[in-house]
A and B are shown apart, each in its own frame.
Chain A
Amino acid sequence: MRVRALETILTEKGYVDPAALDLLIETYEKKVGPRNGARVVARAWTDPAYRERLLKEATSAIGELGYAGRQGEHIIAIENTPQRHNMVVCTLCSCYPWPVLGLPPVWYKSAPYRSRAVSDPRGVLKDFGVELPKETDIRVWDSTSELRYLVLPMRPEGTEGWSEEQLAELVTRDSMIGTGLPKRPQDLAT
């Protein structure tokens, strides 16, 4: 495989330290992922002051929970409402808020999603099994700059009194991209 051959060359030339490569991989395989974003969303659902900070200054609000850095240097959080559903895409490449969602799934970087999210978002939602009420407008955010977008989904009904940890279990990766909705209490396996 040419990747291995190239790594050999680069290591022999002293450009890369394989231990640093291992650490990069481990970081995004084990540590940074959509559970981070789920914590942010659950906090916003339970703490109105935090929600306000998140919608106003998402980068620093997310930083409060310790999530920051590469591909999340400038984050904007956008709120779903009964009137408006938000969906995030990067038509030009694969821009995605790494510190809160980890690395993007294959479909997010794929031609079907990148081509249709901006022209047929309702059709794309159908691919994900999601159908929104007709009266809900759809707002698509094409990530063409270094701003990264995180969708704040609506808190599911029937979760009054739930703790932040319980609520985080309902927050799916796709609900923070806008191609899905959070789980409902009855969706959780008992």
Chain B
Amino acid sequence: MNGAQDMGGMHGFGPVQPEKNEPVFHGEWEKRAFALTLAMAMPGQWNLDMCRAAREGIPPPQYLRKTYYDIWFTALEKMMLERGLVTPDDVAAGHAVTPPLPDRKVLKPADVAQVLYRGGPTIRDTNSKPLFAVGDRVRAKNINPATHTRLPRYVRGHAGTIERLLGNHVFPDSNATGAGEDPHWLYTVTFNARELWGPQGDPSVSVSVDAWEPYLEKA
């Protein structure tokens, strides 16, 4: 999706402003929004790519105004309403006034450490042979799906070099829509800044993205 999340190369946001002695969370609501987002993945039955798609779906004027945990929380609300986990009546009342969806797993305190330690590996064993090898010249395809993708706009149409093979990984473009994991080969592809930014690029800079095979063609 060509949304506001895809920021690489945009101008006008001003300098980076690091905060001295920054706390992990800024206020109680950030803590709860963070923890709710993690905990609701279990009863919500969605995956990380679906979450990212929901965040990216926030219209650009709103996305750019929000703090990061507000983006997470807005997406969480949206996903819960869309799936009927929470209803508009619940929200209006500020209490549960409709019954919960049946058979939902809940994250228990005793399982928190184990769930975090296990994480969600995305590498998959497949028999597929990689199309590209280290050193191959490839071009990022010019694609513009309205659904979730992890190929940033700033590399589309540009030529780079395969630097690493990273194994077969869950393909976000498919996983985000509920169409399945559809794992594909993943590569580190490196681009010179001149290729990406033309005369404004600094030739001593190179930039890599991790790109799934369907994003790439022979250059």
Nearest to B155 among chain A residues (CB) is A142
Give the chain A neighbours of B106 by CB distance below 8 A: 14-17, 20
Give the chain A neighbours of B16 by CB distance below 8 A: 107, 110, 112-113, 116, 124, 127-128, 179
Given contacts A24-B35, A92-B5, contact A128 B68 (CB under 8 A): no
The answer for the CA separation of A150 and B119 in the assembled complex, in Å, is 18
Which of B11, B22, B108, B205 has a CB less than 8 Å from the CB of A122?
A: B205
Which of B14, B77, B104, B122 has a CB less than 8 Å from the CB of A6?
A: B77
Q: How many residues of A contact B (CB 8 A)?
A: 75
Query: Is A112 in contact with B14, judged by CB distance below 8 angstroms?
Result: yes
Query: Is A118 in contact with B26, judged by CB distance below 8 angstroms?
Result: no
Give the chain B neighbours of A134 by CB distance below 8 A: 204
Query: Is B86 in contact with A4, judged by CB distance below 8 angstroms?
Result: no
Given contacts A111-B7, A140-B208, contact A8 B94 (CB under 8 A): yes
Which of A21, A109, A118, A120 has a CB less than 8 Å from the CB of B35?
A: A21
The answer for the CA separation of A135 and B104 in the assembled complex, in Å, is 57
Mask: chain B, 1-42; 1 = CB below 8 Å from A; 0 = not: 000011111110111111100101110010111111011100
Which of B100, B205, B211 has a CB less than 8 Å from the CB of A13?
A: B100
Given contacts A111-B13, A113-B16, contact A118 B207 (CB under 8 A): yes
> Which of B25, B36, B122 is packed against the most chain A CB atoms within 10 Å?
B36
Which of B18, B32, B112, B170 has a CB less than 8 Å from the CB of A107?
A: B18
Q: Within the complex, what minimum Cβ distance (angstroms) separates B129 from chain A?
A: 20
Decide yes or no whether B162 CB sits under 8 A from chain A: no
Which of B67, B96, B152, B201 has a CB less than 8 Å from the CB of A91?
A: B152
Give the chain B neighbours of A190 by CB distance below 8 A: none
Q: How many residues of B contact A (CB 8 A)?
A: 90
Query: Is B208 in contact with A4, judged by CB distance below 8 angstroms?
Result: no
Give the chain A neighbours of B64 by CB distance below 8 A: 111
Decide yes or no whether A60 CB sits under 8 A from chain B: no
Mask: chain A, 93-113; 1 = CB below 8 Å from B; 0 = not: 110000000110111011111
Give the chain A neighbours of B116 by CB distance below 8 A: 24, 27, 69-70
Interface 9-mer from A44-52, A71-79, A160-168: A71-79
Give the chain A neighbours of B9 by CB distance below 8 A: 115, 118-119
Which of A9, A107, A116 has a CB less than 8 Å from the CB of B17?
A: A107
Give the chain B neighbours of A188 by CB distance below 8 A: none
Give the chain B neighbours of A8 by CB distance below 8 A: 94-96
The answer for the CA separation of A100 and B153 in the assembled complex, in Å, is 29
19 contacting pairs across A/B (C-beta < 8 A):
A7-B36, A9-B86, A13-B90, A17-B106, A23-B112, A29-B25, A70-B120, A74-B123, A107-B17, A112-B14, A115-B10, A115-B13, A118-B154, A137-B206, A140-B206, A144-B152, A146-B122, A146-B169, A147-B210
Residues of A within 8 A of B (CB): 1-10, 12-17, 19-25, 27-29, 33, 68-74, 91-94, 102-103, 105-107, 109-122, 124, 127-128, 134, 136-147, 174, 179
Taking A17-B108, A74-B166, A115-B8 as given, write out 5 further A-B residue pairs in contact, using a Cβ cutoff of 8 Å, ordered by the A residue number.
A9-B86, A10-B36, A16-B107, A27-B116, A33-B24
